Chains A and B, each alone.
Chain A
């Protein structure tokens, strides 16, 4: 029947819109927090089990749960090694303007610094430097490389 056919058509349209909107929400959540690097490829260690770096989402300086975990381990390690001072190097990926990236790198390194300080590490032991997009670890122009480059790296001060 004609009427039935019409309803069928409307249903098909409705279903496909639903499918489409589901798709777009999935994508959205991917670009917000989902582009934080979670692998181990570029990571070095300050000591056994103590990762040297944390990663960030695009245009963000917020610490993820994994980053907090890494920084708590760094704080533990620093409490046990009281003479050790550190430098936090903040970095950005190549997909922003140079000057903004310098500021963003500084903000990222300071997020890490603030967290270390709440776990009892004196600010006097920590210095911060931003390299913006100037020192990538992975020089490819891919989302994976960019996620590895959005980082704050803790290094032992000389």
Chain B
């Protein structure tokens, strides 16, 4: 798959952070989303046609992708285009602020595009309607088939400007696609844009695959495959399709993740009824054993600085969350609440650990500080687990399974996301049933 894309960003004008009036506070649940008008991008009449990209509709389609991104945050309320009063090209030059304020918009996005010599040029501006001024103006050049990514990058720029946090729209999610009855489930690795577009399947479904995770540059994926009925951790290069077994272990390896520098894979190795945590250096193949306990130690995840590891272990009886230094020393139990705790994942900001909790027959997704204090449960359900962080550390994606009746009827597995505020829980669109999501980092940094 081609991930290569060239995007040139030109600053049209310097934007000042000093006195912008619109600010979106995302530290709490936002019950009053900011009304935003996203004008369709004006399509330059001099534009060429390009393959199967419908140039005439492209301005409208880019603005629709931006609107959907905004709506999905729960922080913005994209206004209905029927109420728009100014033509896109005129608004882009200089909007009549009082007209846009009349439809209660507080921010306006305008833009224009041109396809010339197989290149797509897109320019956009963000206007603060209360202050009657431009706050961002940027231009991009890329290949026309990348138009959705342009829409996501524009969304990220606006989100960053208005919330003060980095964005997460120009990202992908890798997951396990599921079809067929529960007793004979067919599972494939699948990858899609964060908004559900561009789904591609990376395996054929001949063997069981589980728990895919991106490396920091999003080019490699580590996952568990039952190829030849030997459950082993694999490494897959998404661009070349080349896959290889990780390490030479005489038994099941599972629960893999990359270290934050991408140089190591951390995983569990099960032997003689005991699972311990290991790392393997991808280049030197050097293997290091980090835990030495007769209990089940699994689901390891590095802190973003690479200095610590969190994992779950049943050494105290039932599954609980522990942290240790990345050399395996200084093991500390951090979860002490009632119930079972599993699948800890360290936030990309380093402050929080997300987890799955099982208590009184219910499954919860929650977060706690990395010392175990400040536990907050975000969502309760019949079955849900395996949270993965958005690259800005504001959202979690996880999967949820429904209760099934006799013969497995009524069973579904879907991807969901939730803000760490506990608000804005929503299902992600996938072509098939889905599980084990892993969120990429920002594709364009």
Residues of A within 8 A of B (CB): 59, 61, 94-100, 102-104, 106-107, 109-111, 114, 128-131, 134-137, 139-141
Q: Report B381 CB to chain A, min CB distance, Å.
A: 13
Across the interface, which residues of A come within 8 angstroms of B406, CB to CB?
Answer: 140
Q: A96 vs B254: C-alpha distance in the bound complex, in angstroms?
A: 16
Give the nearest-CB partner of B274 in chain A: A107
Chain A at the B interface: SS class? mixed
Nearest CB on B from A142, distance (A): 8
Contact between A130 and B270, CB atoms less than 8 A apart:
yes
Q: Is A98 a contact of B211 with CB atoms below 8 Å?
A: yes
In the complex, residue of chain A having the shortest beta-carbon distance to the beta carbon of B408: A139
Give the residue of B181, B254, B407, B411 whose beta carbon is less than 8 angstroms from that of A99.
Answer: B254
Measured CB to CB, the closest approach of chain B to A31, in angstroms, equals 10
B319 at the interface (CB under 8 A from A): yes
Chain B contributes a number of interface residues (CB within 8 A of A) equal to 48
Task: Please pick, from B356, B361, B382, B405, the residue contacting A97 in the complex, using a CB distance under 8 A.
Answer: B356
By beta carbon, the residue of chain A nearest B272 is: A110
**Contact A107 to B411, CB < 8 A, known contacts A98-B386, A102-B254, A135-B183:** no
Given the known interface contacts A95-B358, A107-B296, the answer about A102 and B255 at a Cβ–Cβ threshold of 8 Å is yes
B229 (CB) vs chain A CBs: closest residue: A129
Cβ-closest 4 pairs across A and B? A139-B408, A110-B273, A139-B182, A103-B275
Contact B268–A103 (Cβ < 8 Å): yes
* CB of B67 within 8 Å of the partner chain: no
- In the bound complex, do residue A98 and residue B210 qualify as a contact, i.e. CB atoms below 8 Å apart? yes
Contact of B273 among A96, A99, A106, A131 (CB under 8 A): A106
User: In the assembled complex, which residues on chain A have CB atoms less than 8 Å from the CB atom of B272?
Assistant: 110
Known pairs A61-B273, A98-B435, A99-B298. 17 more at Cβ < 8 A?
Answer: A96-B340, A97-B342, A98-B211, A103-B275, A104-B296, A106-B270, A110-B273, A111-B273, A128-B251, A130-B270, A134-B208, A136-B182, A136-B183, A139-B407, A139-B408, A140-B406, A141-B411
Question: Can you list 25 residue pairs at the A/B interface with Cβ under 8 Å?
Answer: A59-B319, A61-B273, A96-B342, A97-B299, A97-B386, A99-B299, A100-B298, A100-B312, A100-B314, A102-B210, A102-B231, A102-B252, A103-B270, A103-B296, A103-B298, A107-B273, A129-B231, A129-B252, A130-B252, A136-B182, A139-B407, A139-B408, A139-B411, A140-B406, A141-B404
B385, CB-defined interface residue at 8 Å: yes
**B197-216 at interface with A (beta carbon < 8 Å):** 208, 210-211
Can you list, as one digit per residue, whether each of B342-356 has a CB less than 8 Å from chain A (1) or not (0)? 110000000000001
Provide the main secondary structure of the chain B interface.
Answer: mixed
Q: With an 8 A cutoff between CB atoms, is B359 at the interface?
A: no
Q: Is B343 a contact partner of A99 (Cβ separation < 8 A)?
A: yes
Contacting pair B385 A98 (CB below 8 A): yes
Question: How far in angstroms is the closest Cβ of chain B from A61?
Answer: 7
A70 to B306, CA, bound (A): 48
Inter-chain CA distance A98–B435, complex, in Å, is: 10
User: Using a CB-CB cutoff of 8 Å, which residues 327-353 of chain B contact chain A?
Assistant: 340, 342-343
**Least distance between B185 CB and chain A CB atoms (Å):** 7
Q: Is the CB of A139 within 8 A of B298?
A: no
User: Hey, which chain B residues are within 8 Å of A109, CB to CB?
Assistant: 273
Bitwise, B405-416 to A at CB < 8 A (1) or not (0) is 111100100000
Instruction: Check if B383 sits within 8 Å of A95, measured CB to CB.
Output: yes
- State in angstroms the CA–CA spacing of A100 and B407 once bound together: 25
Shortest distance from the beta carbon of A140 to any chain B beta carbon, whole Å: 5
Contact of B181 among A100, A107, A139 (CB under 8 A): A139
CA distance A95 to B401 in the complex (A): 10
CA distance A137 to B275 in the complex (A): 25
Nearest CB in chain A to that of B296: its residue: A103
Tell me if B318 counts as interface (CB < 8 A to partner A). Answer: yes
The minimal Cβ–Cβ distance linking A112 to chain B, given in whole angstroms, is 10
B251 to A: closest C-beta gap in Å = 8
Determine the chain A residues whose CB is within 8 A of the CB of B224 once the complex forms. 102
